Amino acid sequence: MSIGPDAVQATPSPKERYNEAIRDAAVAEPTEQVSELIPLTPDNPNLVWHPDRQRLLMVTWKSQSSFDRFIKPATNSSSNENQLIWVTAAPQVQQLCRQYRQQNPNATEADLKLRLQQYLGLDPAWNYDVFVEMWVDVRDLFRPCADPEVSDRQCQADFPQSLAADLPKVAGITPRSGIANYQTFFKGLYYRSIRTNLQPFTGLGYTYDWGNPNSEVGASEFILVPGAAYTIERAVPTGDYCKPE
């Protein structure tokens, strides 16, 4: 029996939607550049500053085993630029997941985790259990962008033509960061994401939200420079972290 043009198509699975997000993110378009990124500045009232006014509360989502093996025992991020800690600024993700629970009171724990995986541009097959809050010096953070400073609201899509091949002299990337060549490093993030089908990397300062039909702009994302010091504030199971106040 033939299927007519008006036949209802099957709803794509989460994995199919995720793979489509990877393909879409591989080609950046001018319209995907946004000017609403979270700036890490003292005058931003939506951040959580340590009393020392130098460190910020940042958040990463990990499996329990990954947290126990790599994050909990350490006080510094890895010096290897291929083993990065990606973070968001508190409380952006918590606000999103609390709102989700309020709007979807019958949602299961699996529903919640899927929505978070979508929002953060993560593979639905990967396991995540705990949100880890950590204090990080703002000077040890950078955006995964062509211009990695953290104090503005927008990422440039390309490197300036006049930029030398060495590290950009901007806040967030310093000679002590362990990144020998930032342009090479940044391009590596992009090529690894598409060659290995790892994740939809925008390169524009935000995670790719593959669950929102109205906008692919997720959370503002940052990376700890290799070897950055951090202090764990707490590790909270996903369900508890997202409980409405």
Flag whether pLDDT at 3 surpasses 80. no
Give the pLDDT score at 217.
97
Provide the residue type at 155 as one letter.
Answer: C
Per-residue pLDDT, averaged over 113-119, amounts to 98
39 or 26, higher pLDDT = 39
* Secondary structure of the chain as H, E, C letters: CCCCCCCCCCCCCHHHHHHHHHHHHCCCCHHHCCCCCCCCCCCCCCCCECCCCCEEEEEEEECHHHHHHHHCCCCECCCCCCCCCEEEECCHHHHHHHHHHHHCCCCCHHHHHHHHHHHCCCCCCCCCCEEEEEEEEHHHEECCECCCCCCCCCCCCCCCCCCCCCCCCCCCCCHHHCCCCHHHHHHHHHHHHHHCCCCCCCCECEEECCCCCCCCEEEECEEECCCCEEEEEEEEEHHHHCCCC
Cβ 206 vs Cβ 78: under 8 Å: no
Residue 120: partners with Cβ closer than 8 Å, 6 or more residues away: 61, 88, 93, 207, 218, 219
The stretch 220-230 carries a mean pLDDT of 94
pLDDT per residue as tens digits for the range 146-203: 888 899 999 988 887 655 444 444 444 554 556 778 888 888 888 887 776 678 999 9
| Reported confidence tier of residue 122, pLDDT bands at 50, 70, 90 | very high
Q: How far is CA 203 from CA 130, 140, 148, 189, 210, in A?
A: 25, 19, 10, 8, 15
Question: What integer pLDDT is reported at residue 183 of this predicted model?
Answer: 85
Give 7-21 pLDDT, tens digit per residue. 456 788 999 999 999
Q: What integer is the mean pLDDT of 220-241? A: 96
User: How confident is the model at residue 200, as a pLDDT?
Assistant: 93
pLDDT score at 159 = 80
127 HSE (CA, 13 A, CB side): 6
Alpha-carbon span 149 to 26, nearest angstrom: 22
Whether residue 171 contacts residue 150, with contact meaning beta carbons closer than 8 Å, is answered with yes
Residue 192 neighbours by CB under 8 Å, 6+ apart: 198
What integer is the mean pLDDT of 73-102?
A: 95
* pTM as predicted: 0.89
